Amino acid sequence: MLSGKTILIGITGGIAAYKICELIRKFKKSGANVKVVCTPNALNFVTKLTLQNLSQNEVYVEEFDVKSWKPEHISLADEADIMLIAPATANTISKIAQGIADNLLTSIACAFRKKMIIAPAMNCNMWNNAAVQKNLSILKSRGIEILEPDSGFLACGYLGKGRLCRLDKIFDAVVEALKCSDKLKGKKVVITSGGTIEDIDPVRYISNYSSGKMGFALANNAADMGAEVVLITTKDFEAPYKIVKVKSALDMQSALDNEFDTSDIIIMAAAVADYRVKEMCAQKIKKGESDVLTLELVKNPDILAGLCERRAHNSLDKPLIVGFCAETENLLQNAKEKINKKGCDFLVANDISRSDIGFSSDDNEVTILDYSGAIIKLDKAPKRVIARKILELISK
C-alpha cells in the first residue's frame, strides 16, 4: 500500500514515544520506507536500537553528526514524502510554530515543505495552556494537520485530554495523505480567496463578509495533492506555497493575468465586488451639510467570465476553470444560469443565507455543477473536507 513512499517520523520526549514502535512496524509492513528522527529527550523513553531495528534505517538525533556534504536536516526533509511528528510535546509544537530550529527534529520541520501531520500528547493542563493552543492554531493556519489527543487517564495521573490519539487514526491519516499526494503532481493550481476591497477614500472601503477560508482550504489541499499552488488572496494567510496578496478586483484580475498562461487549473473562490467607486477620493470625504452622500459606482470586470473568454478566444484546452457562486435564494436555478453565462467547467454553489455554512464559517455544504449539466451535492462538512472532495472531482 505504501511502497515507494518515505515517511519521516519525528519522535519527541513524551511517554507515548513507546507506542510509535508499533506504528513504525505497521508502516513497514505496508511497504513504506521509514526514517526516524528523535529529539534527545525522546531517547529517555525509547531506545535508538529499537527504533533502528524496527525502521531498518539509521535513527537520526544529533544535528552536527555530519556524514555527507548535505546537512541531514535538508536531505531528510527533501527525501521524505510526508513528515509525522508523534508524540509531539508542547515544547516541540511551540518551537515549530515559532520557527525555532534548535535540534535536528525542529530544524527538519523548519525546512520541510510537504505534508506534515502532528499528533500531540501531553498533560491536560499543558494541552489547555493558552500559549500551546495559540501555537497549535498557528500550525493549523499553515496547513499542518493536527490529530487532536484523546481524553482518558494520562500517564501523569490526571484524567483529561492529552493522550496520544489512537494509532490507527494516525496510520489512516498518513495513508490518506500519501494516497492523494500525487493526484495533482505536475499541475499548477491557481486559487483566489477572500472578498475584494474597493477603496472609497483613504479611510473607507466597500467589501463583503468573505473570510477567504474556503479558498485557503482548497489551496492547502491542492498542495497536499502535489500541485504547485498559487493563492491570490485579499486575506493574511501563511503557507509554504506562493501567496499573492491583493486588494481590489482590478488587482486580483492583474495577478490572475500574470498566472494564466502557466496554470492548469484556476479556481475562483474569491468574492469579487461587482462594483467599485468610480473615482476614489484622494482625501478623506468630509461630512458636509447634506444628510445624503451619493457614491457613483462602476462595474468591475467579471474576472471569471474574462478568463473563460480568454481561453475560448485562444482555443486553449487549459486551464480548467472553476467558479464559485454565492446565493441567498434560488441556489440551483441561479447556479445553472451562472455556469452557462460565465462558461466555466465547474461551478461550486454556496447558500450564503445559512449562518452555519458559507461565509466565515468553518463548515460548508455545496452543490457542484459541471459543464455537462451534472449536479453533485456535498453534505455539510468542514471546509477542509469539502475542499478535498472538490479537488478530487475536478482532478478526474
> Nearest distance from residue 393's CB to ligand CTP, in Å?
16
Neighbouring C-beta atoms of residue 208, cutoff 10 Å: 17
> Nearest distance from residue 202's CB to ligand CTP, in Å?
24
Site for ligand CTP in 312-341 (CB under 6 A): 323-326, 338
CB 205 within 8 A of CB 198: yes
Q: Which of 21, 110, 124, 156 is catalytic?
A: 156
Written as nine digits, the cell of 81 is: 514524502
Q: Which of 9, 164, 246, 270 binds ligand CTP (CB under 6 A)?
A: 270
Helix, strand, coil percentages for the chain (3-state, nearest 5): 35, 25, 40
How many whole angstroms separate alpha carbon 97 and alpha carbon 113?
Answer: 14
Please name the residue that has the C-alpha cell 459606482: 297
DSSP codes, 101-125: --SHHHHHHHH--SEEEEEE---HH
Q: Which is nearer to ligand CTP, 181 or 221 (CB)?
A: 221
Q: Which is nearer to ligand CTP, 190 or 325 (CB)?
A: 325
Site for ligand CTP in 271-300 (CB under 6 A): 272, 274, 300
Catalytic annotation present for 124? no
Q: Which of 51, 121, 180, 303 binds ligand CTP (CB under 6 A)?
A: 303
Q: Which is nearer to ligand CTP, 251 or 302 (CB)?
A: 302
Please name the residue that has the C-alpha cell 482590478: 250
Q: How far is CA 63 from CA 7, 33, 45, 104, 351, in A?
A: 19, 21, 20, 5, 52
Asked if 358 is part of the footprint of ligand CTP (rule: CB under 6 A), the reply reads no
Find, among 350, 343, 392, 352, the residue nearest to 370 by Cα.
343
Q: Which of 251, 264, 302, 351 binds ligand CTP (CB under 6 A)?
A: 302
> Nearest distance from residue 203's CB to ligand CTP, in Å?
24
> Nearest distance from residue 213's CB to ligand CTP, in Å?
15
Find, among 255, 249, 212, 230, the residue nearest to 383 by Cα.
212
- Interface characters, 225-264, with ligand CTP (x: CB under 6 A): ------------------------x---------------
| Footprint of ligand CTP (CB under 6 A) | 249, 268, 270, 272, 274, 300, 302-304, 323-326, 338
